[in-house]
């Protein structure tokens, strides 16, 4: 019998590095197996055999790096398919009208770029349209600042309803509008309007029932928001928390914005019946303050709230809104900072005026309409930072009051060329449907 075996020779494989001792000499399994196969006296050839073994190992390593898939041919096809799929997606991104799987709406749902025309005027001969909402059955409602609520059927027939007690004075009038998140069950429609009361102009939010084209007033949600011929705010939207957010202006009295007991120059947050949510920051309707004239509200896919705001001379703002925070007006503007006050995420600089109004989140950006800028702006987001502001459709349609995303994936632009500050075309104002593929 050969020397002392530390393992059974029959279980000794080429890769086994255990050592056995035979006749007083140390053998590895490799030594043992090679000798078994070749019949060569291993002691005198041992160094040669190690050289052959090392060359073989180097050869295997070389082949692996040259063709990493050769050991795993089954997975290779999957890798290739994945690469080809990535190529296809990359190509699709360059072609408007194709499926764009990375575009998501504010609820985090995938949306598809529609295949219709790039631009189409869907309504014209309007007068200062301010807000547009889509009813569940394909009809639309539009507010006109003079006090008209337009009920637009699917084929574009318009029925106009005059809202009572609207005072169209300067920038005031019938402004914002919102459908209740459960509109299909309760038919609640909210309107933000300016009214004249003893002592002057105020703004209020009223709730209506809108059923089969019939409007009936339900209740006042919030009253006596300071109003004026300028800076009436007016945008409303229900947030991801199903609460009603209302943007109000300083009504031409800047100090009201820092007064947390005033409803002016604020973003307010209410339950759907007008009561105050338990987690509002100051136990009042106020959610954030220090605003001059915010007119756009939008939530991104992470449920961050963004608001556009008119600055005094240029220095228009896009702000990331958080509960209880002070956005500075009139103490700071532009690049100025102060303790306890928020800098805007982006402002237009000292030389450029956006005059920003309605806003919507789309595919990683806040798009917002510019009145003086006559541009659809796109603020590209990275988290809660704005990394770039792009300009679209500059001077093509004049002053833009709002941009709304429709249920079928189109943008709708509302012009504001008849508000006394524009140069209206004969068929202004308009609502223009824009294929967002134009911007992607
Ligand atoms: Ca500010």
Q: CA torsion sign, 190 to 109 to 412 to 229?
A: positive
- What count of residues does the chain have? 440
Instruction: Name which of 328, 368, 425, 424 is nearest 235 in CA terms.
Output: 368
Which burial class, exposed, middle or buried, applies to 88 when counting CB atoms under 10 A from its CB (0-12, 13-18, 19+)?
exposed
Distance from the first to the final alpha carbon of the chain: 81
Which burial class, exposed, middle or buried, applies to 92 when counting CB atoms under 10 A from its CB (0-12, 13-18, 19+)?
middle
For the domain spanning 119-439, the CATH number is 2.120.10.30
The rounded Å distance from CA 342 to ligand 1 centre is 7
Spatial strand order in the sheet of 266-270: 236-238, 244-247, 266-270, 286-289
The rounded Å distance from CA 290 to ligand 1 centre is 7
CA-angle at 373, arms to 290 and 435, nearest 5°: 105
Please tell me the pTM assigned to this model.
0.77
The count of other CB atoms within 10 Å of the CB of residue 190 is 24
Residues 6+ apart with CB under 8 A from 376: 367, 368, 369, 370, 391, 392, 393, 400, 403, 411, 413, 434
Query: What integer pLDDT is reported at residue 265 of this predicted model?
Result: 98
What is the distance between the alpha carbons of residues 366 and 106, in angstroms, rounded to a whole number? 10
The rounded Å distance from CA 340 to ligand 1 centre is 12
Instruction: Name which of 332, 352, 350, 354 is nearest 341 in CA terms.
Output: 332
Our answer to whether residue 231 is catalytic in this structure is yes
Instruction: Name which of 196, 202, 190 is nearest 235 in CA terms.
Output: 190
The rounded Å distance from CA 328 to ligand 1 centre is 5
What is the chain's Cα-based Rg? 34
Residues 6+ apart with CB under 8 A from 66: none
The rounded Å distance from CA 280 to ligand 1 centre is 21
Q: Which residue has the tokens 């291993």?
A: 42
The rounded Å distance from CA 27 to ligand 1 centre is 82
Query: What integer pLDDT is reported at residue 138 of this predicted model?
Result: 92
Q: Are 190 and 212 in contact (CB under 8 A)?
A: no
β-pairing, 317-321 with 305-309?
A: antiparallel
Q: Which residue has the tokens 């990375």?
A: 102
What is the distance between the alpha carbons of residues 434 and 411, in angstroms, rounded to a whole number? 5
Residue 191, CA distances (Å) to 30, 46, 177, 415 in order? 87, 94, 5, 20
The rounded Å distance from CA 294 to ligand 1 centre is 10
Residue from 168, 209, 231, 347 carrying the catalytic annotation: 231
Q: Mean pLDDT of residues grouped by 10 in the chain (440 residues)?
A: 46 52 54 55 59 74 53 44 57 39 66 91 98 96 98 96 98 98 98 97 98 97 98 98 98 98 98 98 98 98 97 96 98 96 98 98 97 98 97 98 96 98 97 96
The rounded Å distance from CA 257 to ligand 1 centre is 10
Query: What integer pLDDT is reported at residue 61 of this predicted model?
Result: 64
Residues around ion ligand 1, judged by CB within 5 A, are 327-328
Provide the residue ranges of all domains of the chain, joining segments of one domain with +. Answer: 9-66, 119-439
Name residue 246's beta-bridge partners: 236, 268
Query: What integer pLDDT is reported at residue 31 of this predicted model?
Result: 60
| Angle between helices 42-66 and 29-38 in degrees, nearest 10 | 110
Which burial class, exposed, middle or buried, applies to 275 when counting CB atoms under 10 A from its CB (0-12, 13-18, 19+)?
exposed
Query: What integer pLDDT is reported at residue 93 of this predicted model?
Result: 42
The rounded Å distance from CA 354 to ligand 1 centre is 15
Cis check for the bond before 136: say yes or no (omega within 30 of 0). Answer: no
The rounded Å distance from CA 327 to ligand 1 centre is 4
């Amino acid at each position: 019998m050969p020397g002392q075996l530390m393992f059974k020779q029959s279980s000794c494989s080429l890769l086994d590095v255990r050592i056995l001792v035979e006749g007083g000499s140390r053998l590895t399994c490799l030594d043992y197996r090679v000798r078994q196969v070749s019949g060569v006296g291993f002691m005198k050839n041992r160094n040669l055999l190690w050289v052959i073994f090392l060359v073989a190992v180097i050869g295997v390593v070389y082949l692996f790096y040259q063709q990493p898939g050769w050991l795993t041919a089954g997975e290779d096809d999957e890798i290739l398919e994945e690469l080809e799929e990535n190529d296809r997606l990359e190509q699709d991104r360059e072609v408007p009208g194709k499926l764009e799987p990375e575009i998501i709406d504010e609820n985090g749902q995938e949306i598809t770029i529609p295949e219709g025309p790039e631009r189409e005027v869907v309504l014209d001969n309007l007068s200062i349209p301010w807000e547009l909402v889509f009813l569940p059955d394909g009809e639309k409602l539009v507010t006109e600042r003079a006090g008209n609520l337009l009920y637009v059927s699917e084929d574009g027939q318009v029925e106009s309803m005059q809202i009572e007690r609207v005072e169209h004075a300067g920038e005031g009038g019938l402004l914002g509008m919102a459908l209740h998140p459960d509109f299909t069950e309760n038919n609640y429609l909210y309107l933000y309007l300016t009214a004249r009361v003893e002592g002057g102009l105020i703004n209020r939010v009223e709730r209506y029932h809108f059923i089969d084209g019939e409007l009936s007033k339900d209740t006042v949600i919030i009253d006596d928001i300071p109003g004026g011929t300028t800076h009436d705010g007016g945008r409303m939207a229900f947030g991801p928390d199903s609460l009603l957010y209302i943007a109000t202006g300083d009504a031409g009295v800047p100090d009201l914005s820092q007064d947390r007991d005033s409803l002016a120059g604020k973003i307010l947050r209410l339950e759907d019946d007008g009561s105050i949510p338990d987690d509002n920051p100051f136990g009042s309707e106020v959610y954030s303050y220090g605003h001059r004239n915010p007119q756009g509200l939008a939530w991104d896919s992470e449920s961050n709230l963004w608001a556009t705001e008119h600055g005094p001379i240029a220095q228009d703002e896009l702000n990331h809104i958080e509960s209880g925070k002070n956005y500075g007006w009139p103490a700071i503007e532009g690049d100025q900072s102060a303790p306890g006050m928020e800098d805007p995420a982006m402002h237009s600089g000292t030389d450029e005026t956006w005059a920003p109004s309605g806003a919507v989140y789309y595919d990683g950006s806040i798009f917002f309409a510019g009145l003086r800028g006559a541009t659809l702006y796109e603020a590209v987001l990275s988290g809660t930072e704005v990394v770039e502001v792009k300009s679209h459709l500059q001077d093509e349609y004049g002053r833009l009051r709002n941009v709304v995303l429709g249920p079928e994936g189109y943008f709708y632009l509302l012009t504001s060329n008849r508000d006394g500050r524009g140069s209206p075309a004969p068929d202004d104002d308009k609502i223009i449907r824009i294929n967002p593929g134009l911007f992607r």
